[in-house]
Chains A and B, each alone.
Chain A
């Protein structure tokens, strides 16, 4: 029996990783809703993840919290637990478990491209790798995010009378888009939907520069022409967006590489900016960790499992329930 079971439970110490239902003791890889839920007894996570959970669900969303810095081994009974940066969002972690000569790594959600708003991914060698597969199909080859932001800025310049409304998840994606804009030299105020504000302040308080921001709701309609507004994807089509002057609807997500998907959701300017590993990163990671057993979790498991098997690795899908199959969750 392995150290980690197929529901990401570590039976010998009574701990689960990212459990979808409240448990006594949980390790949380990062703050997105489909990984971090409220109501656990005790939570072990990075300090950033704990701050995010408290901001989203309240100070008492778990019985107790224990912060664990990256790279610091913690013995829980006879199991050594260490967190490593996953590069997904601020505070996101991979979990390494060691016991009796066996090493297991659960990547959580991760990406390997540089991101100024998240601690950079570290490769962790292991025997068993549990990897995500949100973009586990060879059609997903993410372009450089800088190029996507350049397209956004060109569209802003070409459409001075229209607002650009970018759908982006309030945690992680929104701040990453802001940061990318700042790195591209964009210094206008960025207008935010109210749902973005608290987490944006949290990122700033933890030393991430996001530049001047304003609340979109406080701007007059005319003021927003030629400006960039960021809102949760769900707000793109609701009444909230009617205040904007003839908005160009944009969405920042790895899914946006599929034009038909963009069309389905009425997105005029798809921005392929993803916080997940693409097909090439997934394969590289599998190969570089040296793992000989691969468990593939939520996402498009079939293709990655197939590829691993072609490489002579033992691989199987973990069909975890509770993670959004459409993949909207972590993106």
Chain B
């Protein structure tokens, strides 16, 4: 545990990506199985304990620390794991904690009723940085600036294997990855992961630079499609039940049983998950009703039926067609759908256009009349290349809508921004009153954040727990993708993907937008 805690601390505090990589490689090299495999699982978020939840940890701590003092501390620190590690009042003899593997087994196998006692005794035995690592490990919320991609890159570097090869089998592997390390260290062949449970890393697009990219590109080399406002998924169909993966490779089929149970055939498809009756996409708000749920109630399924709008095909049957050009893959996809007619799958249509002007016009009208997010451009000759290759796929998003809104409330942020007032609620005028229309946490630089934080502290008029109400004086130019009618906000409006475009230090609050000004955005969708 000592070694793992030291690794986590180093990863959290080292800003340099190369040093993080170096630390990971050294750790994988020097740590025996299965410890290193468990560490890898923790770093990639693959480990969770059914009996250890943040609520249990809170309970353990508030038995020892006054809950009010704990609340003040958590608000100040902004990170649950860190708060617990720092506030734990009992510092024992610091006998060694169990090793990583034993510790994980303990957390895994201890009965629910005994977990609080176990955690309390571990916290007391641990040194400060081990307490921190322990809580991070137990809650699974690392927040140390290490992506699973970085961990896998370290594996590639450590072994000299190709990162792509690791990514391909990743989702079929099981913790603690002994077979993976055996292969990486040359003691066996690459694990043979069944095609059905594999996630195949997605091909991603780059935003287009209208001024510099478009003039260099020949419109006839490209196809265009609408940019669908759902979530990107990969559907893997084969002998067993269908697998549905999110763009990061998380299996999300459990939330969409209606979808997964109705599809059939054998293929790996790339597309957009949407909800709506009769394959008519409803708003992203509706889709959100079904996201992040472990199960879906029959009522929810009936109200928001899910479907996939497919736009690419990676495997036709068992044949890997990724090396084929887009146009050939599209033919495979169309033929496959014709042979396997489905109720929850359709095709993303190709948009006809002759030149960039015409497409620009289409994009504008699509946004204004149908609320489309923009268009996708795909090079006809491009193979399916995982990652974000340059020059093959582009997204051309609609111009953002902007509105001048007044800052109303600020709240301390979490993670990297803990202890800064970085979450802002803003509103527009309804008569003489401001009504909130949204909340944003980003769009500003670190320097601006410091200024905003200072402004909030010196303009607080009231505080409610962690939330500060501020003088209604500061105007934000807020950019957003679309506005929707919402029952959740007092204003009746909810913004999609709001971000702070500019801070209008210069603009008087009285000149900010009114609720009536928002109507125009509502009508567009």
B-binding residues in A (CB < 8 A)? 137-141, 143, 257-264, 266-270, 300, 302-303, 306-307, 310, 325
Q: A139-B86, A139-B87 are in contact. Are A264 and B416 (CB under 8 A)?
A: yes
9 additional contacts (CB under 8 A) given A259-B13, A260-B419:
A138-B73, A138-B89, A257-B86, A259-B12, A261-B419, A262-B13, A264-B417, A300-B72, A306-B68
CB distance from B136 to the nearest CB of A (A): 10
A-B pairs with beta carbons under 8 Å apart, 17 shown: A138-B70, A138-B87, A139-B73, A139-B76, A139-B77, A140-B86, A143-B128, A259-B9, A259-B12, A260-B78, A260-B419, A300-B76, A303-B69, A306-B68, A306-B72, A307-B69, A325-B457
Q: Is B409 an interface residue (CB 8 A)?
A: no
Q: Is B391 an interface residue (CB 8 A)?
A: no
CB neighbours (8 Å) of B14 from chain A are 268
CA–CA, A138 to B90, complex, Å? 12
CB distance from B369 to the nearest CB of A (A): 45
CB distance from B442 to the nearest CB of A (A): 15
Which B392-430 residues have C-beta < 8 A from chain A?
415-420
Q: Is B79 an interface residue (CB 8 A)?
A: yes
Q: A139-B76, A139-B77, A139-B83 are in contact. Are A270 and B457 (CB under 8 A)?
A: no
CB distance from A297 to the nearest CB of B (A): 17
CA–CA, A270 to B129, complex, Å? 12
CB neighbours (8 Å) of B65 from chain A are 138
Q: Is B145 an interface residue (CB 8 A)?
A: yes
CB distance from B518 to the nearest CB of A (A): 35
B416 in complex: contacting residue of A258, A260, A306, A307, CB < 8 Å: A260
CB neighbours (8 Å) of B70 from chain A are 138
Contact between chains at A137 and B73 (CB < 8 Å): yes
Which 4 A-B pairs rank lowest in CB-CB distance, beginning with the nearest?
A: A139-B86, A260-B418, A139-B73, A139-B87
CA–CA, A143 to B85, complex, Å? 13
Contact between chains at B69 and A267 (CB < 8 Å): no
Q: Is B66 an interface residue (CB 8 A)?
A: yes
CB neighbours (8 Å) of A268 from chain B are 13-15
CB closest chain-B residue, reference A268: B13
Q: A263-B12, A263-B416, A268-B14 are in contact. Are A258 and B77 (CB under 8 A)?
A: yes
Q: Is B181 an interface residue (CB 8 A)?
A: no
Contact between chains at A260 and B79 (CB < 8 Å): yes
Which B305-324 residues have C-beta < 8 A from chain A?
none
CA–CA, A137 to B13, complex, Å? 23
- Chain B 1-45 against A: per-residue CB contact (8 Å), 1 yes, 0 no? 000000001001111000000000000000000000000000000
Q: Is B157 an interface residue (CB 8 A)?
A: no
CB neighbours (8 Å) of B72 from chain A are 137, 300, 302-303, 306
Contact between chains at B69 and A263 (CB < 8 Å): no
Most chain B C-beta atoms within 10 Å of own C-beta, residue among A259, A266, A270: A259
CB distance from B85 to the nearest CB of A (A): 9
CB neighbours (8 Å) of A137 from chain B are 69, 72-73, 76
CB closest chain-A residue, reference B143: A260
Contact between chains at B69 and A259 (CB < 8 Å): no
Q: A270-B13, A300-B76, A303-B73 are in contact. Are A141 and B86 (CB under 8 A)?
A: yes
Q: Is B82 an interface residue (CB 8 A)?
A: yes
CB neighbours (8 Å) of B418 from chain A are 258, 260-261, 264
CA–CA, A269 to B311, complex, Å? 49
CB distance from B22 to the nearest CB of A (A): 12
Q: A258-B82, A262-B13, A263-B145 are in contact. Are A138 and B419 (CB under 8 A)?
A: no
Which B443-459 residues have C-beta < 8 A from chain A?
457
- Chain B 50-74 against A: per-residue CB contact (8 Å), 1 yes, 0 no? 0000000000000001101110110
CA–CA, A82 to B13, complex, Å? 45
Q: Is B132 an interface residue (CB 8 A)?
A: yes
CB neighbours (8 Å) of B128 from chain A are 143
CB neighbours (8 Å) of B66 from chain A are 306-307, 310
Contact between chains at A260 and B13 (CB < 8 Å): no
Contact between chains at A263 and B13 (CB < 8 Å): yes
CB distance from B209 to the nearest CB of A (A): 31
Most chain A C-beta atoms within 10 Å of own C-beta, residue among B15, B83, B86: B86
CB neighbours (8 Å) of A138 from chain B are 65, 69-70, 73, 87, 89
CB closest chain-B residue, reference A270: B13
CA–CA, A262 to B419, complex, Å? 12
CB distance from B363 to the nearest CB of A (A): 39
CB neighbours (8 Å) of A141 from chain B are 86, 89
CB neighbours (8 Å) of B83 from chain A are 139
CA–CA, A266 to B13, complex, Å? 8
A258 in complex: contacting residue of B9, B69, B86, CB < 8 Å: B86
Which B322-340 residues have C-beta < 8 A from chain A?
none
CA–CA, A137 to B72, complex, Å? 8
CA–CA, A310 to B68, complex, Å? 11
CA–CA, A268 to B132, complex, Å? 17
CB neighbours (8 Å) of B143 from chain A are 260
CB neighbours (8 Å) of B86 from chain A are 139-141, 257-258
CB neighbours (8 Å) of B13 from chain A are 259, 262-263, 267-270
CA–CA, A41 to B342, complex, Å? 89
CA–CA, A258 to B79, complex, Å? 9
CB distance from B432 to the nearest CB of A (A): 31
Most chain B C-beta atoms within 10 Å of own C-beta, residue among A258, A300, A307: A258
CB closest chain-A residue, reference B446: A264
CB closest chain-A residue, reference B70: A138
CB neighbours (8 Å) of A325 from chain B are 457
CB distance from B385 to the nearest CB of A (A): 34
CB distance from B41 to the nearest CB of A (A): 22
- Chain B 133-174 against A: per-residue CB contact (8 Å), 1 yes, 0 no? 000000000010100000000000000000000000000000
CB distance from A90 to the nearest CB of B (A): 29
CA–CA, A178 to B372, complex, Å? 63
Most chain A C-beta atoms within 10 Å of own C-beta, residue among B69, B77, B419: B69
CB neighbours (8 Å) of B69 from chain A are 137-138, 303, 306-307
CB distance from A165 to the nearest CB of B (A): 14
CA–CA, A307 to B68, complex, Å? 10
CB closest chain-B residue, reference A310: B66
CA–CA, A307 to B13, complex, Å? 33
CA–CA, A83 to B320, complex, Å? 83
CA–CA, A138 to B72, complex, Å? 9
CB closest chain-A residue, reference B8: A259
CB neighbours (8 Å) of A269 from chain B are 13
CA–CA, A300 to B13, complex, Å? 26
CA–CA, A259 to B519, complex, Å? 45
CA–CA, A268 to B420, complex, Å? 20
CB neighbours (8 Å) of A303 from chain B are 69, 72-73
CB closest chain-A residue, reference B9: A259
CA–CA, A142 to B416, complex, Å? 22
CB closest chain-A residue, reference B84: A139
CB neighbours (8 Å) of A264 from chain B are 416-420
CB distance from B82 to the nearest CB of A (A): 6
CB neighbours (8 Å) of B416 from chain A are 260, 263-264
CA–CA, A169 to B68, complex, Å? 33
CB neighbours (8 Å) of A306 from chain B are 66, 68-69, 72
Most chain B C-beta atoms within 10 Å of own C-beta, residue among A140, A264, A302: A264
Contact between chains at A259 and B82 (CB < 8 Å): yes
CB distance from A273 to the nearest CB of B (A): 14
CB neighbours (8 Å) of B457 from chain A are 325
Which B436-484 residues have C-beta < 8 A from chain A?
457
CB distance from B474 to the nearest CB of A (A): 19
Q: A138-B65, A141-B86, A268-B13 are in contact. Are A259 and B73 (CB under 8 A)?
A: no
Q: A139-B87, A264-B416 are in contact. Are A259 and B132 (CB under 8 A)?
A: yes
CB closest chain-A residue, reference B419: A261
CA–CA, A141 to B131, complex, Å? 14
